[in-house]
Amino acid sequence: MLIRIVTIFPEFFASPLGVSIVARALESESLRIELIDLREHGKGTHRQVDDAPFGGGPGMVMMIEPIDRALGDSGHRVLLTPAGARLRQDDLERWAGIDELVLICGRYEGVDERVAENLVDDEVSLGDFVLAGGEAAAAAIIEGIARLLPGVVGNEESIKSESFRDGLLEEPQYTRPSSYKGWEVPEVLLSGDHARIERWRAEQRRRRTAERRPDLLGGDSAVARP
């Protein structure tokens, strides 16, 4: 799989691409990354990539032309913006099956809306908070995809049973020691009764999800997706 990143800060990606699962995916060539420096496609001798907003207002807006030139005729395009649909695990699963994915990192006050309207396939946000730009979101997405690529994570079982795979949060996990500073591991997990343990885990998944993320159960705060 090839992931291309359109950014004005290619140097941002040195660390996130250099460690752990992403580094391993790159080494094994399950994943290739191409950094596209938006400034190289900027206008004029100053390599301008942003301009003042039409209609007035504070800050700068990223221009469409450098982005259009940087994209060329590249693959499935994703714009990272707080105005996008909330990113979900099934987006990552869908994208992990694509040969060429392009992540476009917005910056400044925003990106000329004609980019979203005409040049991209998906617009996504990491969540209901505002970053200074899409770079950290792109790094998160790349890590989320890398661990789904065949052969990258050793333990395929841990991917199968993880949070969101069945639409619920994962149950709590514990390891040794069974007692620490008087904080005890739930007795059921030490019982050796596998049927009881599985019932307890299923109940924990259901209860945690209901308490913390009722939207995942289709409750009141469910977020609509197109």
125 interacts with ligand ADE by CB under 6 A: yes
Q: How far is the CB of 225 from ligand ADE (least distance, A)?
A: 15
Structure tokens, 53: 């907003």
Distance CA 192, CA 205 (A): 20
Q: How far is the CB of 16 from ligand ADE (least distance, A)?
A: 15
Distance CA 224, CA 216 (A): 11
Of the residues 31, 81, 148, 209, which one makes contact with ligand ADE according to CB under 6 A:
81
120 interacts with ligand ADE by CB under 6 A: no
Which residue lies nearer to ligand ADE by CB, 126 or 168?
Answer: 126
33 interacts with ligand ADE by CB under 6 A: no
Which residue lies nearer to ligand ADE by CB, 134 or 144?
Answer: 134
Which residue lies nearer to ligand ADE by CB, 107 or 205?
Answer: 107
Of the residues 42, 66, 110, 134, which one makes contact with ligand ADE according to CB under 6 A:
134
144 interacts with ligand ADE by CB under 6 A: no
SS3 (DSSP) at 57: coil
Q: In sequence order, what are the residues at sequence separation of 6 or more whose Cβ sits closer than 8 angstroms to the Cβ of residue 22? A: 16, 31, 142, 143, 146
Which residue lies nearer to ligand ADE by CB, 52 or 130?
Answer: 130
Helices 135-146 + 20-27 axis angle, to 10: 60
Number of residues counted as binding ligand ADE (CB under 6 A): 13
SS3 (DSSP) at 222: coil
Structure tokens, 127: 């969540």
Q: How far is the CB of 79 from ligand ADE (least distance, A)?
A: 8
In terms of DSSP bridges, do strands 122-125 and 76-86 run parallel, antiparallel, or are they unpaired?
Answer: parallel
Q: Is the peptide bond preceding residue 150 cis, with omega within 30 degrees of 0? A: no
Of the residues 127, 177, 214, 219, which one makes contact with ligand ADE according to CB under 6 A:
127
Q: In sequence order, what are the residues at sequence separation of 6 or more whose Cβ sits closer than 8 angstroms to the Cβ of residue 66? A: 38, 39, 41, 42, 43, 48, 49
**Residues near ligand ADE, by CB under 6 A:** 80-82, 106, 125-127, 129-131, 133-134, 137
